[in-house]
């Protein structure tokens, strides 16, 4: 209907334009000032004759958008629909925060451990990612709350019951990271930014991948100085897998305070005798680095990795605390270490 009205309007406008032009031409000889005034009035009449139709078109587009919302499936298998782009977004884990910014978004809240990118570090925090303040989150009335699926699934209920929309992301695999960023790009209408980021991640990970028979153990210690090895199923183990290394902790059961890690004995480490040992020290300096401490354990002196000086200290943030888009930095670090020896 709008198209027919617009066509008819344009036809009438052409006829009016011809008549107006003739009249203005005649008047120009008599009164130039009056001719200019009439010309301005004619132009205004033409411009204002169409908005009603344009407005109807915009209304129809808005209605279609509302009737056909964007729908995504999150890392918990939840189907979430959006009829508009969420403006106020709260992220309560490093994984959620870094994925949101990678997709071109920004957050209004963060958990205490979220400090990347730099602009996120100054946001109000809701406490620990393991025990965030639900009241603080609710008080900001965000349009969307993004959580980490594996460690924060229990918060979906309380947040949803409070009327908040909750999206889960995770970083167990490369595909998880790509899907999380892509979903957020779709939700935020920033697909170009999200696609560019995911393409960069895939390209850099592929460049670091190599296939050989070399092996690795990724070790971390607790306050009691017990040692734990990252299993292949963990995010830390994924980093070794993406470099192409064989993880000697394969098949071990999950145990201890670090999810995805297994308690290992000195005897196991000696029997595994990996080509490389990567260590993670949870406590910040000046606490001793595990990469130094492990070399002082007498039986370990005969380990291949120690004899060949292939023991490296890894960044606790990249390798343990912040699973997500910066996996490329961790993979490239490990790739550089193992392939420069």
Least confident window among 56-65, 185-194, 329-338: 56-65
Cα–chain center distance at 325: 6
Separation in Å, CA 241 to CA 45, 237, 331: 69, 6, 9
Task: Give me the sign of the Cα torsion angle 217, 301, 280, 260.
Answer: positive
* DSSP E strand stretches across 153-272: 166-169, 215-221, 227-230, 246-247, 261-264
Q: What is the pLDDT of residues 149-159, one digit of tens each?
A: 999 999 999 99
**How far is Cα 330 from Cα 172, in angstroms, rounded to an integer?**
14
Q: What is the pLDDT of residues 62-118, one digit of tens each?
A: 333 566 789 999 999 999 999 999 999 999 999 999 999 999 999 999 999 999 999
**How far is Cα 281 from Cα 290, in angstroms, rounded to an integer?**
6
**How far is Cα 18 from Cα 12, in angstroms, rounded to an integer?**
10
Predicted local confidence at residue 211, as pLDDT: 78
Q: Is the pLDDT confidence value at 238 over 80?
A: yes
Predicted local confidence at residue 223, as pLDDT: 84
Predicted local confidence at residue 285, as pLDDT: 87
Q: Are the C-beta atoms of residues 181 and 134 closer than 8 Å to each other?
A: no
Task: Judge: domain 70-206, CATH 3.30.160.110.
Answer: no
Predicted local confidence at residue 7, as pLDDT: 43
Structure tokens at 57: 């078109």
Read off φ and ψ for residue 180, nearest 5 degrees: -60, -45
Q: Is the pLDDT confidence value at 165 over 50?
A: yes
Predicted local confidence at residue 341, as pLDDT: 64
- Position with higher pLDDT, 141 vs 7: 141
Residues near 283 by beta carbon (within 8 Å), at least 6 away in sequence: none
Predicted local confidence at residue 243, as pLDDT: 95
Enumerate the domain spans of the chain.
2-67, 70-206, 209-339
Predicted local confidence at residue 319, as pLDDT: 97
Q: What is the pTM of this model?
A: 0.79
Structure tokens at 180: 């999380």
251-260 mean pLDDT: 92
Query: Are the folds of 70-206 and 209-339 the same?
Result: yes
Q: Is the pLDDT confidence value at 36 over 70?
A: no
Residues near 28 by beta carbon (within 8 Å), at least 6 away in sequence: 35
Q: What is the pLDDT of residues 259-312, one digit of tens each?
A: 899 999 999 999 999 999 999 999 888 999 999 999 999 999 999 999 999 999
Query: 255-269: buried (b, 16+ CB within 10 Å) or exposed (e) per residue?
Result: ebebebbbbbeeebb
* pLDDT band with cut points at 50, 70 and 90 for residue 340: confident
CATH class of 209-339: alpha beta
Predicted local confidence at residue 65, as pLDDT: 54
Q: What is the pLDDT of residues 313-339, one digit of tens each?
A: 999 999 999 999 999 999 999 999 998
- Position with higher pLDDT, 90 vs 257: 90
**How far is Cα 217 from Cα 229, in angstroms, rounded to an integer?**
6
């Amino acid at each position: 209907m709008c198209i027919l009205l617009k066509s008819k309007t344009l036809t009438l406008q052409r006829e009016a334009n011809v008549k107006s032009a003739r009249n203005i031409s005649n008047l120009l000889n008599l009164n130039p000032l009056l001719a200019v005034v009439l010309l301005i009035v004619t132009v205004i009449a033409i411009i204002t004759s169409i908005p009603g139709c344009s407005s109807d078109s915009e209304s129809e587009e808005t209605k279609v958008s509302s009737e056909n919302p964007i729908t995504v499936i999150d890392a918990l298998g939840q189907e979430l629909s959006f009829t508009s782009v969420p403006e106020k977004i709260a992220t309560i884990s490093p994984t959620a925060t870094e994925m949101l910014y990678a997709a071109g978004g920004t957050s209004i809240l963060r958990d205490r451990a979220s400090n990347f990118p730099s602009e996120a570090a100054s946001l109000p925090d809701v406490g620990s990612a393991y025990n965030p303040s639900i009241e603080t989150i609710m008080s900001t009335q965000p349009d969307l709350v993004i959580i980490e699926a594996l460690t924060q699934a229990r918060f979906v209920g309380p947040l949803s019951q409070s009327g908040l929309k909750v999206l889960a992301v995770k970083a167990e695999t490369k595909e998880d990271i790509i899907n999380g960023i892509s979903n957020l790009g779709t939700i935020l209408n920033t697909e170009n930014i999200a696609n560019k980021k995911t393409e960069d991640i895939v390209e850099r990970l592929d460049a670091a991948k190599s296939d050989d028979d070399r092996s690795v153990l990724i070790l971390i210690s607790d306050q009691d100085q017990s040692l734990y090895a990252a299993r292949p199923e963990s995010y830390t183990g994924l980093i070794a897998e993406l470099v192409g290394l064989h993880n000697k902790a394969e098949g071990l059961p999950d145990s201890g305070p670090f999810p995805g890690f297994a308690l290992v004995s000195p005897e196991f480490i000696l029997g595994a005798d990996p080509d490389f040992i990567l260590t993670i020290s949870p406590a910040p300096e000046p606490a001793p680095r595990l990469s130094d401490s492990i070399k002082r354990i007498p039986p370990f002196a005969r380990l291949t990795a120690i004899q060949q000086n292939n023991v490296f200290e890894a960044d606790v943030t990249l390798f343990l605390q912040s699973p997500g888009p910066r996996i490329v930095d961790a993979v490239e670090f490990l790739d550089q270490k193992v392939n420069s020896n």
